[in-house]
Structure 1
Amino acid sequence: MSLSATGGTPGSAPAGGQTSVSMIARQAIVNGQQQVVGYELFNRSRSGTAHTAATDVILVFTALSHAGTEDLVGKKLIFVNCTHESLTGGHLELVDPDKVVLEIPPLGHVAAEEVSARLPILQGLRMRGFHLAFNHTVLESAYAPWLPLADYIKLDLSVLAPDQLAVLIRYAGRQSKAELIAEKVETAQQYDMVSSHGVQLYQGYWFARPALVETKLLSPSQASIVDLINKVRQQASTDEIEEVLKKDAGLAFNLMRLINSAGFGLQREITSFRQAVMLMGLKKLFRWAALLLTASRTGGAPSSVGQTAVVRGRLMELLALETLPPQEADQAFVVGIFSLLDVMLSMPMVSALGLISLPEPVVAALLRREGFLGDLLTLAEACESSNDAMFDRAAGTLHLSSQQINMAHLQALAWADNFTV
């Protein structure tokens, strides 16, 4: 699984927009009515990859920034296996804790002092609103300090005998407020047994095998990520940070997708880069960019498709500024930079637009070339072709002269080409 970034060469115009394909397996966790309450996620992209804090980061962000023909987790809970090292990672500050269940592993050769040393970290996660899940070892006396923090306790039917299960279920009911999840339920007999003891959540082949889901992310250029990090560290203005986002379609898409995802927990839709920057804040923006860079890979040339999208966006913005205030002209930029989203994601435009929240005029322009924004997009497309008739019709509709359009087009090309690190 990868949030990989393609490296731009110095002096190039790394517009982003290359697609990274990943494979995530998800297995449903269901209740007694077989309604899905959450999904446990597994990395299935790279066999043999060690489970590290970095893979936790990638798993969570791929889930929240998922681009595919269906929602990966929707509004369900996300169960994510963790390492103790990953629990202090900055990536956890970028998600809505109410949507995430962190599965905490046992310590192996447990010692009372080590259990105590980890306690403040776990308490801090709970205070921030994360749900915590443990396996049945949390019911052992050595882990007594952790038990009050458990929201879920998983009981592995492949390693626990029926008599052990009965004892553990009774003990958990007396000593904790955790919901019990019977995992690796593979037969009707196992289901009947654990449900008769009062277990109400289940996971396993009897209900659903892990299903592979292909995910796609637009990969920002490494140069763009570095530039964004530098701007944030310098506490640059919102305008300067917005400029970096405008020059990389992949960076812009991933930020808008993340900030509008259920995992980010905002109550209203964010429809402009400026809003996204201001609401995310410099601290979170820096962490997000740093994690993207950590997970990135070098290699490859800037995408010509992404480059075209950036030029379109800037051209449309410049032309919109002839008649519209800056805030409305920003929507023209959004239309331009996302006008090739179907090509970048290799899916129909209607499916691609279902992945991000955009104002209706923007959607109408992208899908049907409707309204003022649709006319601007038609004109931008005409500027890339030799179709003089289409160019003249669009220019006439918008009451723009050839001189105005040509000047804006040259400015847009220069603006994109001047983006270097």
Structure 2
Amino acid sequence: MSIISDALTPMKPPPGDADNQVVIARQAIVDDTRTVLGYELFDRSTSPSQHTADSDAALLFNALSFADTETLVGNKLVFINCTHESLAGGHLELIHPDKVVLEVPPIAGHDPALIAKMAEVMQKLHKEGFRFAFNHTVLTRGYAPWRPLAAYVKLDLMVLSSDKVEAFVQFARSNTNAQLVAEKVETGEQHKLLASYGVKLFQGYWFAKPTMVKALTIRPSQATIIRLINLVRNQADATELEDLLKRDPTLSFNLLRFINASGFGLNCEITSFRHAVMILGMHKLFRWAALLMSTSHSGGPPPAIGHTAVVRGRLMELLTAELLSPEECDNAFTVGVFSLLDSMLGVPMAKALESVELPEPVVDALQHRRGLYAPFLELTEACERGDDAVFARVANALALSSRQVNMAHLQALAWAESA
């Protein structure tokens, strides 16, 4: 689960111990009117020296999982630095290619065989809709196989002298269809010179310094994720998968947040756990679980909070079973199981709910304690704390007998214990 900070802050080193924090730096790529084309993202939760295929996957997962992606990149392009190994990673199947530009570095040693092999990998991704950005090395002789794939070519002004830049610009225009980006532009003179060569896109301190977006994260325990992976590998049916999601609020919250995020590319809102499983399918659900595993730690939220949330969800589902429609019962479960999100995240409920798309009646119950589900939540909490007065008042208003409520509570406790 993720809560994005309200404001972007100037980039500075993240705290030393930040297991529960994701820190993503972004730097704008702009045109000559300073209109933002996109943002290059950098993972500041780890050292740059730890840039690996796994860190690439984690960065994409974290960046594109934010329900409030508007804060991070809006509807702009996302430029992600990739290792060669990560281009073959299954995590790319989980994202919408229209939103991402993959920045690919040159091959160490410029080995022709490796250049050709990597061109084949990128051609497959290109057919799926992914675009690529390369540095100026792609304009040299050995990288001819890569040039037809270039959507963007970056010219590093910290490396290239002004006379070399002009030659590269002319060559790129004649031999690629790529848009040129002058990067590490730090002065007005550099901007003016590159603009005179016809370069239209710019990145650097002259336009915008990197800023950071910080997010607090709560991941499910690794044991729970392993259970999900095993169910998927054994081709469990949707009912079994839904049952596991219902029993772990952090797991279900992460899935709904991810599948509703703009990076996934869906045009409809997913609010049911079963619907989420059906939309993803087994293959992508496995990929998602594997990525979640790689970005999780061995802990998770305090067990007592998660257990209480599960009991609340199941009790609300049982209480509404004979009074509401099946869809409304699903929503009642969601109200109960997410009713402790504020405690799990350590933020007000209104802030917690920014991280996931939920139906308005669910939000009304959780945030404002009003609407269809509010009295069921109030009754559930009265059962939890043994408040006889509230119990009697709300049960009477809902036309539920004490015996009905108590039996449902016992069933909910037993169901949660069997998780």
Superposition TM-score, scaled by structure 1 size? 0.91
Does the 8 A contact of 2:67 with 2:261 survive in 1? no
Tell me the alpha carbon deviations over residues 214-236 of structure 1, each in whole angstroms, 9 at most, x when there is no partner.
Answer: 11222111121111111111111
Deviation track 1:196-223 (CA, whole Å, cap 9, x = no partner) reads 2221221111122111211122211112
SS in 2 for 1:93: helix
Q: Deviations over 1:4-60 (max 9, x none)?
A: xxxxxxxxxxxxxxx932211111112222222211111111236521111011101
Structure 2 equivalent of residue 170 of structure 1 = 170
Q: Is the 8 A contact 1:321 1:329 kept in 2?
A: yes
Runs (5+) with no aligned partner, structure 1: 3-18
Q: Indicate the residue corresponding to 1:338 in structure 2.
A: 338
User: Counterpart in 1 of 2:203?
Assistant: 203
Q: How does 1:15-414 map to 2 (within 5 A)?
A: 20-47=20-47, 49-66=49-66, 71-299=71-299, 302-414=302-414
Q: Percent identity?
A: 56
SS at match of 2:50: coil
**Partner amino acid, structure 2, of 1:359:** P
Amino acid at match of 2:414: A
Per the alignment, in what secondary structure is the counterpart of residue 296 of structure 1?
Answer: coil
d(CA) in 2 for partners of 1:118, 1:300 = 38
- Aligned in 2, Cα 1:33/1:394: closer, same or farther, shift over 3 Å? farther
Q: Deviations for 1:339-364, whole angstroms, at most 9, x for unmatched residues? A: 12222223332232222211111111
1:63 shift after superposition:
0.7
Distance 1:27 1:48 in 2: 16
* Counterpart in the other structure of 2:5: none
Counterpart CA distance in 2 for 1:153 and 1:94 is 26
Take 1:20 and 1:404, find their aligned partners in 2: how far apart are those partners? Answer: 41
How many residue pairs were aligned? 402
Shift of 1:299: 4.2
Alpha-carbon shift at residue 300 of structure 1 (Å): 6.4
Deviations 1:101-158 (A, max 9, x none): 1111100211222211111100011111111111110011110111010111111111
- The answer (yes or no) to whether the contact 2:220–2:301 under 8 Å persists in 1 is no
Equivalent position SS for 1:207 = coil
- Cα deviation 1:299-322 (Å, max 9, x = unaligned): 467432222222111111111112
Letter in 2 for 1:223: A
Residue type at the aligned position of 1:331: N
The residue type paired with residue 335 of structure 1 is V
Identify the range of structure 1 (335-344 vs 221-230) with the bigger mean alpha-carbon deviation. 335-344
Contact kept, 8 Å, 1:225 with 1:289, in 2: the verdict is yes
Cα 1:397–1:32 change in 2 (3 A) is farther
How many Å apart are 1:69 and its aligned residue?
10
- Checking the alignment, whether the CA contact within 8 Å between 1:27 and 1:40 is kept in structure 2 is yes
Q: Deviations over 1:168-220 (max 9, x none)?
A: 11111121111111111111111111122221221111122111211122211
CA RMSD across the alignment:
1.9
8 A contact 1:221–1:302 mirrored in 2? no
Tell me the alpha carbon deviations over residues 266-289 of structure 1, each in whole angstroms, 9 at most, x when there is no partner. 111111111100000000001111
Distance 1:61 1:301 in 2: 20
SS at structure 2 position matched to 1:324: coil
2:69·2:262 contact (CA, 8 Å) conserved in 1? no
